[in-house]
């Protein structure tokens, strides 16, 4: 069975915070979970950006399980675009990119952007003094 990796933005209501949802995803659906971003505040709506890895069937069932528990589950439909042609390679964006997607190449000291590592935390958008990062919304 081939495994698929997909990224989702999960939004869950205040009352769902006490259910071990990720435990069930792992145990019942054999889904590997990588938490990319988490904003969970007790008593308030929370959101999680997750990378889920599993078979197509298990992913589908796992998502259905989350939705049964009032957790909305949208595919991560944003990505960061970088205007490379205008980049002056100052490095300001690398200071805030703790996902390691934006790093300076230590030979040429030019910026490298690995979109696979990007978790769309959006910190680079205001950090760039030339305003070269933008958020793209895709289907």
Partner 1 sequence: MSIQKTYEEINEKIRRGEAVVLTAEEVSQMALTATPEEIAEKVDVVTTATFGAMCSSGAIINFGHADPPIRMEKIRLNGVPVYEGLAAVDTYVGATACDPENPTYGGAHVIQDLIDGKDIELEAWGKGTDCYPRKHIKTIINKDSVNEMILFNPRNAYQNYNVAVNSTAQMKYTYMGSLLPNMRNATYSTSGELSPLLNDPDMKTIGIGTRIFLGGTQGFVVWPGTQFNTSKPKNEFGVPVSNSATLAVIGNLKEMSSEFLQAAYYEKYGVSLFVGIGIPIPVLNADIAKNVSIRNEQIHTTVMDYGVVGTPVLGRVTYAELRSGEIEVQGKKIRTAPVSSLSKARKIADLLKKSILAGEFEITKPVQMFPTNTSLKSLKEVKGGE
> Where do contacts with partner 1 occur on this chain (CB under 8 A)?
88-92, 94-96, 98, 104, 106, 108-110, 123, 126-127, 129-131
The three state secondary structure string of 58-111 is: HHHHHHHHHHHCCCEEEECCEEEEECHHHCCCCCHHHHHCCCCCEEECCCCCCE
End-to-end CA distance of the chain: 27
Cβ proximity of 70 and 13 under 8 Å: yes
β-strands 102-104, 46-54 pairing = unpaired
- Residue with Cβ nearer partner 1 (75 or 129): 129
Query: Can you tell me which residue has the tokens 């696979």?
Result: 116
What's the min distance (Å) between Cβ of 134 and partner 1? Answer: 14
- Residue with Cβ nearer partner 1 (70 or 131): 131
What's the min distance (Å) between Cβ of 69 and partner 1? Answer: 33
What's the min distance (Å) between Cβ of 16 and partner 1? Answer: 28
What's the min distance (Å) between Cβ of 129 and partner 1? Answer: 4
- Residue with Cβ nearer partner 1 (110 or 136): 110
- Residue with Cβ nearer partner 1 (13 or 129): 129
């Amino acid at each position: 069975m081939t495994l698929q990796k997909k990224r989702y933005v999960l939004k869950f209501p205040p009352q769902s915070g006490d259910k071990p949802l990720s435990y069930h995803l792992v145990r019942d659906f054999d889904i590997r979970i990588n938490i990319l971003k988490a904003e969970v505040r007790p008593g308030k709506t929370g959101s999680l950006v997750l990378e889920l890895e599993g078979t197509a069937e298990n992913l589908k069932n796992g998502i259905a399980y989350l939705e049964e528990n009032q957790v909305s589950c949208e595919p991560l439909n944003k990505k960061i675009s970088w205007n490379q042609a205008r980049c002056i390679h100052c490095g300001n964006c690398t200071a805030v990119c703790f996902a390691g997607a934006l790093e300076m190449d230590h030979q040429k000291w030019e910026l490298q952007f690995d979109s696979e590592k990007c978790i769309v935390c959006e910190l680079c958008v205001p950090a760039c003094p030339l305003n070269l990062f933008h958020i793209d919304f895709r289907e």
